[in-house]
Amino acid sequence: SIRGQNLAFGLGRVADATEVLEGAAEHIADPDLRARLITERAMVAAINGDFEACRAASDSVLAEPATSDVSRAAAYVTLTIALGMTGDCDRMDAVVDEARAVAGRARDVLPFAVDQVAVMQTASAVNAGRLDEANELCRTAIARADRGNAMLTTWLSTSVMGHEMTGQLRDAEAAAETALPLFAAADPFGLEAQVRGLMTLTAGQMGRSLPEDFVDARKVPGAGARVSVWLHRGKAWSAAAAGDLERAVERALAGARAGLDDEHFAWAAFSLSDAVRFGAAERTLDMFEVVDGSKGAHLVQAMKDQATASASGDADQLTEIARRYAGMHAWLLAADTFAQASTAFDEIDRAEDAARSATLSMAAERHCQQPVTPALSARPSIVSAREIEVALDAADGLTSPEIAERRFISVRTVDNHLRAVYRKLSVSGRDELADLLRLS
């Protein structure tokens, strides 16, 4: 056990650690000691990106009725890592309550187990498109005062991922900025590099390009996809913010390859989604074939479907996928996808549909915090910003005088804007407008 830990966690020699631990448990009669060796092998497998082996080892411990809660808690930690990274949300939902209960009973011996299981539960909720649930799990955990910096930084890093998916970019950046100084005291999980990647990713989606030496300042050699995916995603969005879409696409695809190589399939999908949003959908299709969103990973599946629709120029399908994103409250993904649909409609001279999709993109964008993305920048300017402001106010039920007071314009100007919107969107009035703009 000590040799395996030293090789894997101290020296980074994962293959040697696997060799030491492989088969050792077969010679141990004591069920808890045997379980310890198996779960350590599962953790080494997870580090090595072999989540199939990690899952099998974890399940073998959980199938043994004689193992203690401590051993079962350790096995649930490794199992939930495998489920979270591979996008098996259905299995996660089936086991997570028991996993958290067992981890709670083992808290005195494994104080981090409850948090580690909950972090993977949060990652799985993101994959499933239950973004409000994921963000609430983060808020609750961060608010607790009984944890040290190691778990606090883990939760802050996780919260950045959740906020980024909902388009709450300022909140994501604030969480990353809170985490960075804490790493000076301790960074046992090597998360500072990941957080720097996340901060660069967030800044890029707000149109700000951060230098690569900021991203690479705490690079961890051999850390694998848990870090490299986010470094590549950060550099991709930084390149996009600088206007270099070709480099942005290459970085996004590099992040996807890193994720796929280490079986981080859900995170690979996020990188592939970036490439789709940069306009390179056709280059993602082969890699998306490896990604399975059918086990409850609805957000991942939507990303995969978007790649197919975008590559074929299917504007109607893009509109449907954008509504799916909106239903998950993945607002920035919805805004970008509606924008891509509007561009596709505009290219085939479907002016009314282009106007509707552009308006829906602006409606989704309203839920985000200062997004600046290539898709939004390329969105056709069919409905003006002032017209969409007035239309959204009307859809929310405000009267013309109330809109006029809010927007500091005359009632006559409000009504003129509404008539222009009705004409461009081919709707008959406020009720039909509200139905059109109802996103979730």
* Residue-wise pLDDT tens digits, 53-106: 999 999 999 999 888 999 999 999 999 999 999 999 999 999 999 999 999 999
CA distance 355 to 131: 28
Position 440 scores a pLDDT of 59
Is there a contact between 187 and 152 (Cβ–Cβ < 8 Å)? no
Among the residue ranges 51-55, 302-306, 427-431, the one predicted with the least confidence is: 427-431
pTM above 0.75, yes or no: yes
The tokens 């494994």 sit on which residue? 110
Give the model's pLDDT for residue 223: 64
Select from 425, 404, 305 the least CA-distant residue to 362: 425
Q: Is 209's pLDDT higher than 70?
A: yes
Which pLDDT score, from 0 to 100, does residue 221 have? 60
Given a cut of 90, whether residue 325 has pLDDT beyond it is yes
pLDDT band at 230 (very low <50, low <70, confident <90, very high): very high
* pLDDT confidence of residue 47: 79
pLDDT at residue number 436: 84
pLDDT on residue 249: 98
CA torsion sign for 125, 58, 226, 173 is: positive
Length of the chain: 440
Domains of the chain in sequence order: 1-127 (1.25.40), 341-437 (1.10.10.10)
In which band, very low, low, confident or very high, does the pLDDT at 373 lie, cut at 50, 70 and 90? Answer: very high
Average pLDDT of the residues in 338-353: 95
Q: How confident is the model at residue 141 (pLDDT cuts 50, 70, 90)?
A: very high
Question: Does residue 153 contact residue 195 with C-beta atoms inside 8 Å?
Answer: yes
pLDDT higher than 80, residue 224: no
Higher pLDDT, 226 or 159: 159
For the stretch 393-416, pLDDT in tens is 998 899 999 999 999 999 999 999
DSSP per position, 362-382: HHHHTTSSS---HHHHTS---
Can you give the pLDDT at residue 248?
Answer: 98
pLDDT digits (tens, 9 = 90+) for 154-200: 999 999 999 999 999 999 999 999 999 998 777 777 789 999 999 99
Calculate the alpha carbon distances from 136 to 142, 155, 217 in Å.
10, 11, 31
Q: Label residue 19 by pLDDT band (50, 70, 90).
A: confident
The rounded mean pLDDT for the chain is 92
